[in-house]
Structure 1
């Protein structure tokens, strides 16, 4: 295990992986590899289909495309290093590289939350204000919402990097995690980090509370509108769509909230459980979102079937 007791500035950190489960790292690499592969395949396929199919050039699918791009970036930030730890015992990560990874993971996580809120708003307008859908959610508005979500996240996380650079790391450099996470790095500082802790907890609470609050409020309005529908078929379709979206929201908010609270409040949770759950919210949503939003969307599903099976159908007919 690496360490630093000289008082000299650190040039690198040592990512320990999952403490207590080191001998299982090769086995743990299997779900990580499968989730990352599924994320790459599913999100790239969704982006290509939306880009190729002109009939999908609509607000809802633009949001899906943004989500897919963000999911690719989110999963690609921690996964390669995680696999390097599990497969090659490559635990070292440079100080600056660690800060870059930390910045990307937290930035893309915040963008993910904002995009989920935007997509909930999209469903609200489509179900509750269908006649005004095209006038409210124009292409310009959709692009602007995506830009605001990205710029907001980038600005919110940047002070974390600045504050971390002003800390002194002189005791040890072992990060008890599989990737660089803000509080995991802050805990290594031997100088006072009260500002870092306050800013970190404020941002986390703000993002989670705002995201959960807006999504909950939006879906309450949607459900009220759904139950006023006279057609059982339309009501059933709307409920299935809402249920799928709510499941996608839960896969990111529940693990993120658990990880956030464990870092700051609970000391009884096993470090291995905490790290596994923290890994879930950066790997599972990017892998399942293409299934939740793509496979359940008829236009995308039909296009996938056409791309992969049209040639086989043609050949069989011949």
Structure 2
């Protein structure tokens, strides 16, 4: 929704540009109030709709849909399951789409490399290899780091307010880059409409790049109390994963604890170089933690 909202703002300024969202048929028919609110908002923004099922439909079926569009942006995440990102990339290329922004809104998969604890990441590298192996479709990859809110997500377990504890993944000096979904939407729209056009490259964003020690200090300051600090070493996290090898959260924890490809310097990012204001971790915490 953040990507769509911000694209809608810019497409109104671009003559002849239309915005279409692909949804499952079940979404438009859903009685879920939150989905109905989203659909109503999209209608109000002038967004058009097409319907299909990315999981059920073939590459050929998707290519037939995609060939009507100049630019395709993937916002599916990993929720659709393994193989979907490769499938989408193949369909985009088969359709002859001029420009593709794959779902790569996350870490720097090139730096992490193949064979990491999070096996889903190898598929992201397959997509990059596929895009780099051709010259018919332009591509842009937006690396945003982790969603800022995920640092505070109870299931991830870094900031555990119920236990008044902050856990460091790897060490207290290990760093992680984060960007809020709202800023990702705004920055993605700016990247797509940037002049001169950004072509065939990875673009980095960052709301913040933060060490776990600073994160704990921010939580102390915002909550007005001292939180406990517990360090989870890479070895400890790998041991936990070995005992529960299919646990996706434990896979993510190992990757972030290793600290490779999960952070970068803020001053080298698209938003910093363009002077675009974004939300840092401390401001996010002050706006959100008081409600918890």
Give TM class, smaller chain.
under 0.3
Higher helix fraction (1 or 2): 1
TM-score by length of 2: 0.26
Q: Which has the higher strand share?
A: 2
